[in-house]
Amino acid sequence: MKLLEVKHLKVWEVQTGNVIVHDTSFTLEQGQCLAIVGESGSGKSVTSRAIMRLNNKNLQQTGEIFLKNEALHLLSEKHMQRKRGKNLCMILQNGMTAFDPSCLIKVHLYETLHTHFGWSENESEQALMQVMEKVNLKNPQEILHKYPHQLSGGMLQRMMIALALALEPDIMIADEPTTALDTISQYEVVQQFINIRQQMNCAIIFISHDLGVVRKIADKVLVMKDGEVVEQGDVQAIFANPQHDYTKYLIATRGAINDHFKKVMGENVPC
């Protein structure tokens, strides 16, 4: 069953006419993880924000986007707001930008849950404490009463994942969720996404330039270069037998980094 279908998506700058995403099409099925990969500026994040209809006002888009056969591209902004969070949930690259720095963490979370479910503060707190434990956040009540700057990047990322778990969206979009984290936090966050798939059967769009993470978490891969999809398919097939020169370059670069790391460490390091 096609959960999400994107048809001929095009995104361009209004003032310059510069096209950022060219005629992009793909599908996502229930419980599936689609990774969108490519270097900075390839159009990965713009594509994900186009699905949510969250790109800046200086960007325009055309094309068709269907969620469970409902045409998102035809919805009013008011109706689209209801879809964001409950049906489509985005995990941002930098957790600090997702929360109001002047408010306690709980304020943003309670407001979100009240908007979508009408829950009271007590109901929201109980639901959040359960999901926070699932993402290994200890002392959840204490964390809820902290300001964003009092939490590490890894903890903020896990707070966003916890909120997504409480919302139980159809699709979770993770936009470079490990880029701003240290190695240990990166591993923990990736494990959380793997756990989410197992527990919720939630579909995920995972945007990353880290092919090691992609190979670990994704079922399908969509490779973008200069705003165009140059290759897409099953993750194992793409890694084993890439067809496009750019995909070959990305995989070869990843391999060269691994080989250099092993040489520097002077031991057989699994990658």
Angle (CA) 95-135-126 rounded to 5° is 95
Give exposure, 203-232, as e/b (b: 16+ Cβ within 10 Å).
bbbbbbbbbebbbebbbbbbbbbebbbbbb
Q: What pLDDT, on the 0 to 100 scale, is given for residue 266? A: 54
Residues 142-176: tens digit of each pLDDT: 999 999 999 988 888 889 888 988 998 999 999 98
Q: Is the pLDDT assigned to residue 219 strictly greater than 70?
A: yes
Spatial CA neighbour of 19 closest among 43, 40, 38, 39: 43
CA distance 41 to 213: 20
Domain 2-262 CATH (choose: 3.40.50.720, 3.40.50.10780, 1.10.287.110, 3.40.50.300): 3.40.50.300
Report residue 9's pLDDT band, with 50, 70 and 90 as the boundaries: very high
Q: What pLDDT, on the 0 to 100 scale, is given for residue 211? A: 86
Number of neighbours of residue 106 by Cβ within 10 angstroms = 17
Q: Is the pLDDT assigned to residue 201 strictly greater than 90?
A: no
CA distance 54 to 46: 9
Query: Sheet holding 220-225: strands in order across?
Result: 88-91, 171-175, 203-208, 33-37, 220-225, 228-234
Question: Mean pLDDT, to the nearest integer, of 246-269?
Answer: 62
Question: Mean pLDDT, to the nearest integer, of 83-99?
Answer: 85
Q: What is the dihedral of CA 98, 180, 157, 133, to 10 degrees?
A: -160
CA distance 52 to 47: 9
CA distance 260 to 271: 12
Token match 């963490």: residue?
A: 105
Q: What value does the mean pLDDT of the chain take?
A: 88
Question: Mean pLDDT, to the nearest integer, of 42-49?
Answer: 94
Give exposure, 130-149, as e/b (b: 16+ Cβ within 10 Å).
ebbebbebeebeebbeeebe
Give 221's strand partners.
35, 233
| Cα separation values, 9 from 5, 53, 229, Å | 10, 12, 11
Question: What Rg do the C-alpha atoms of the chain give, in angstroms?
Answer: 19
Spatial CA neighbour of 90 closest among 204, 197, 199: 204
Q: What pLDDT, on the 0 to 100 scale, is given for residue 22? A: 95
% the chain with pLDDT above 70: 93
Contacts 24+ apart (CB under 8 A), 245-249: 247/223
Domain ranges of the chain: 2-262
Q: Is the pLDDT assigned to residue 259 strictly greater than 60?
A: no
